[in-house]
Structure 1
């Protein structure tokens, strides 16, 4: 609604300006064409840019495929130049890009470091500014709304991407055909980038899973924000009712964050002190070594599970640990029982450093939660050939301020416990909610259970029965690359009246997956506390005939909705 009002207001201003232009006398009619063009740009471009930014009218495609909406990631300046927020830059160009002190942005790609200054066109390459003027941008980087932006066309040309921007449709297109491919460095350490959180000590409690999750989350916010979140609150307020003695895993931590229970700042453990909203997670396995490296490089620390064979906090008695080199490698068949944070890697880390014979060189650099007396000030090296390293690994990709949405609607407080499907790669699902007040449906959250998951999201703004699910209003579609949880901003935002029911409908397809829908149900392994009374979910084989997931399968759908109040 606000966008429509803004468009109307802008049109009134344009009509007024045109009227003023038509009152010019003959003297001004002789002004040269170039001056008229300049005047038009000065008058109209800021108005156009403001309208485009307000309504979110810009679209982005890469090699002909639509890039999924991520909120305020694109910005049009007063001269109609396109800027992109650093999360876009990292994802599109496969690089590390971080801002500091509200004044500087450091981008690293293929062994080269680029340093940009906010509101300045000149930049440095590996610390040097070219004397021939070649290190100059056409558009200045910006710091706005606590986020850093780089000029998209300049960065595209820097890495040989094709770039075009249609000023009529506000469509941005990138072409990577001739682009220089991005490669991982042979070694990388977040400690060198000021992107590791404080080393903490879990003591004698079984809470490593909470400390690892918090450590990875804090790392993902660095260096822009140096935050200190409470691992104790993850334990005491998780939706599984796990205690410090019970232990837990990445699923318990993920559900705590995704349900907006937290994170909260250390020392202020109340629901009102939730400082961030986690909106996107990526999941990995022990087979995804390179993907985990990319996640560390672009998004910060990655939590992972390993097996440790002693109960002491020093690994002194372990035959798999070389204390003199702080090197660890377990090659047995035991399941993971400890979580740490991967903060880097070294492909050339010598295999002779490990206590036992290892097939090859290479190690992940891992941050532990046993205090600074352990290892190398709390850090140790785990071989690539460790049986479990990379299992249940999680990266925190989308971490936003807690005012990003006014309300979350959900029935899956425990998050993904299991999966459901009809023995094929696609399924239709719908969750029905009742709006607490007049609201605009802004975004939808769901789990992608495999790579290259495609989705089509629709909304029924005034739901009465399952017949309404047959022809909902399509509001977003696309494909996500990685396994994980995603929040998709809607291309069309629909209003729902107070106390009225609305439905979120998703058609989802995951290649090579016969159960592509995430569900919450009563599982025994973690003592899941599932409340089926808060859900009203439906599943369908064909989008026409719907069955209740609560009544037929004793489960809730993992399909959330995010809204803002109508102002």
Structure 2
């Protein structure tokens, strides 16, 4: 019996050397013997795929394209023609294409937004090293997520390959992106980097959108990939259109495909390569796991040409049209480092847009970031698994933070590797419990839906003021619908195998399940998965705390301020918006005589 497949949320490792056999699974927690909804498996060739229960698959394989904005798309477009891409680089001598394609996309979105020019050069070496060496010893675990890390298993990170999922998790943690000058891609002094460089970041990743696929994979009952084919023509056309829209409006898109030599770029024995037209089309519908060719090389889509003839390939695809692709094999390869890839390539895999924050890039560490401060406990995203259950409100999760200074909470970020999710969030202050955040005061709430899986930053509708040392909590609920059934995600880290490591401490996170809030500590396990911190980050900017009660604006609290408040309460005078914002000195939520009394006591030196 054949089963349907939703392609792996954790990308096939883009290296011919070693396939990292990390498990990424998703369980239904309905019973003590849960039905496995999704499970990442590895076939004989090292290709990782996410197997899905057939009766809930249909509307999870493609995005709701009705939500897409209409964008005019020309028949041919190339970001490079407008200098919206960085230079062609060379990954030699290592299988590090995943980092090159990731950062090429990030660089392009920086350039396209006007926040950098085409000379921008981000460090692949920095991303690669600290992806696998992520443990951080800071006392404040909310700075860089403690000892969380992807693990290399004793191998060199430069020999392991990687994935778009890993890259997005590491960059969202703010390990990079660093300028190339801080960790050049050269190895005369070895591959290791000093740990002091870990937190270097000259630009931050804001969103990582995992765009819709064009190819479906089939597996047998033994977990071997036996067949790959294009989705139906409408789905393929819709996926191509959405990828184009992202390139046209935001910048280059990272992706991967199969090639015979993923490291050196040798094409002499590659029967799918057309050297005359510098084009590639993999068309093999192979039978049997031993014949399957898995995606093994990261690339960057910088444009397209709808009229590129199907006759320009060694074998003929179904129709005309090709992606214009920037490679990482140097400018002497292909057409000055570029080539054409058929829209209908049967190994095309995991297109991802890496979108930079809206900040002017500076390579010297002085970038004025969109959000200066981060609060987080998750360093590897969801880790090895995402756990689901029936019902929209079955699961919620929360992180508890303490403000490091006088700051304004302005945004949060979340991760979901499921399409068409809705994120509901709440922010609480005046906390009275380190388990149930909702016993505090609700100060902000909102909702945001996303067509594609990935990492997303969500600005709050209004900033929340935080005083130094003040505790606050961020609660999230992530839900989706499929086959007429509502589901919710346990938005927490998990550790399922030996290729990730997570650290969780008391009073950092809690989760809600079926009506009850419960603490998360190092002993919590659900269905064989170690459960870690909630996967929600908070972003703040510093601000000068106003002098509450100083309604006359002279910089000190005196009886004159108390008198003005008394006159306001007696409706003798009115206050400006600025005065209203600072008159409630005791923060009771209203301006009354008790505020005037509090000022009199302070002016008199009475505590």
Q: TM-score, normalised by structure 1?
A: 0.63
Q: Is 1:369–2:328 an aligned residue pair?
A: yes
Cα displacement (A) at 1:455: 2.6
Aligned to 1:289: 240
Q: Is 1:276–2:203 an aligned residue pair?
A: yes
Cα displacement (A) at 1:291: 1.3
Q: Is the 8 A contact 2:420 2:452 kept in 1?
A: yes
Aligned to 2:403: 435
| Residue of 493, 514, 537 corresponding to 1:520 | 493
| Residue of 300, 320, 339 corresponding to 2:251 | 300
| Residue of 412, 431, 434 corresponding to 1:465 | 434
Q: Is the 8 A contact 2:71 2:245 kept in 1?
A: no
Change (3 A) 1:318 1:519: farther
Cα-to-partner distance string for 1:520-562 (whole Å, 9 max, x where unaligned): 323548x223223488332324565445375234233211111
Aligned to 2:220: none
Aligned to 1:145: none
Change (3 A) 1:346 1:285: same
Within 2, Cα distance between the matches of 1:500 and 1:408? 15
Aligned to 1:397: 355
Change (3 A) 1:203 1:484: same
Cα RMSD (Å): 2.5
Cα displacement (A) at 1:249: 0.9
Report the 3-state secondary structure (helix = DSSP H, G, I; strand = E; otherwise coil) of the residue aligned with 2:386: strand
Q: Is 1:260–2:174 an aligned residue pair?
A: yes
Cα-to-partner distance string for 1:289-309 (whole Å, 9 max, x where unaligned): 221111111111000011112
- Stretch of structure 1 that moved more, 531-540 or 233-242: 531-540
Change (3 A) 1:206 1:182: closer
Q: Is the 8 A contact 1:476 1:492 kept in 2?
A: no
Change (3 A) 1:482 1:508: same
| Residue of 276, 290, 307 corresponding to 1:324 | 276
Q: Is the 8 A contact 1:206 1:244 kept in 2?
A: yes
Cα displacement (A) at 1:498: 3.4
Gaps of 5+ in 1: 1-179
Of the two structures, which has the highest relative contact order with CA contacts closer than 8 Å and spacing of 6 or more? 2
Within 1, Cα distance between the matches of 2:506 and 2:295? 33
Q: Is the 8 A contact 1:450 1:511 kept in 2?
A: no
Aligned to 1:100: none
Change (3 A) 1:272 1:385: closer
| Residue of 308, 317, 322 corresponding to 1:358 | 317
Report the 3-state secondary structure (helix = DSSP H, G, I; strand = E; otherwise coil) of the residue aligned with 1:256: helix
Report the 3-state secondary structure (helix = DSSP H, G, I; strand = E; otherwise coil) of the residue aligned with 1:289: helix
Q: Is the 8 A contact 2:409 2:540 kept in 1?
A: yes
Change (3 A) 1:361 1:534: farther
Counterpart mapping for 1:502-513 below 5 A: 502-512=472-482
Report the 3-state secondary structure (helix = DSSP H, G, I; strand = E; otherwise coil) of the residue aligned with 1:465: coil
Aligned to 1:116: none
Aligned to 1:244: 158
Q: Is the 8 A contact 2:479 2:487 kept in 1?
A: no
| Residue of 394, 406, 424 corresponding to 1:456 | 424
Within 1, Cα distance between the matches of 2:110 and 2:170? 18
Report the 3-state secondary structure (helix = DSSP H, G, I; strand = E; otherwise coil) of the residue aligned with 2:107: helix
| Residue of 306, 309, 313 corresponding to 2:260 | 309
- How many residues in Structure 1 have an aligned counterpart in Structure 2? 386
Change (3 A) 1:465 1:273: closer
Report the 3-state secondary structure (helix = DSSP H, G, I; strand = E; otherwise coil) of the residue aligned with 1:341: strand
Report the 3-state secondary structure (helix = DSSP H, G, I; strand = E; otherwise coil) of the residue aligned with 1:222: helix
Within 1, Cα distance between the matches of 2:323 and 2:506? 42
Within 2, Cα distance between the matches of 1:250 and 1:523? 20
Cα displacement (A) at 1:327: 0.9
Report the 3-state secondary structure (helix = DSSP H, G, I; strand = E; otherwise coil) of the residue aligned with 2:125: helix
Report the 3-state secondary structure (helix = DSSP H, G, I; strand = E; otherwise coil) of the residue aligned with 1:234: helix
Report the 3-state secondary structure (helix = DSSP H, G, I; strand = E; otherwise coil) of the residue aligned with 1:400: coil
Cα displacement (A) at 1:329: 1.5
- Stretch of structure 1 that moved more, 545-554 or 230-239: 545-554
Q: Is the 8 A contact 2:506 2:520 kept in 1?
A: no
Change (3 A) 1:439 1:222: closer
Change (3 A) 1:186 1:470: farther
Cα displacement (A) at 1:481: 3.5
Within 2, Cα distance between the matches of 1:521 and 1:535? 18
Q: Is 1:234–2:192 an aligned residue pair?
A: no
Aligned to 2:229: none
Change (3 A) 1:517 1:348: farther
Aligned to 1:564: 541
- Stretch of structure 1 that moved more, 263-272 or 318-327: 263-272
Counterpart mapping for 1:492-503 below 5 A: 492-503=462-473
Q: TM-score, normalised by structure 2?
A: 0.59
Cα displacement (A) at 1:355: 1.4
Change (3 A) 1:421 1:470: farther
Cα displacement (A) at 1:183: 3.4
Q: Is the 8 A contact 1:310 1:317 kept in 2?
A: no
Within 2, Cα distance between the matches of 1:330 and 1:524? 33
Within 1, Cα distance between the matches of 2:341 and 2:254? 13
- Stretch of structure 1 that moved more, 362-371 or 216-225: 216-225
Q: Is the 8 A contact 1:406 1:563 kept in 2?
A: yes
Within 1, Cα distance between the matches of 2:401 and 2:444? 18
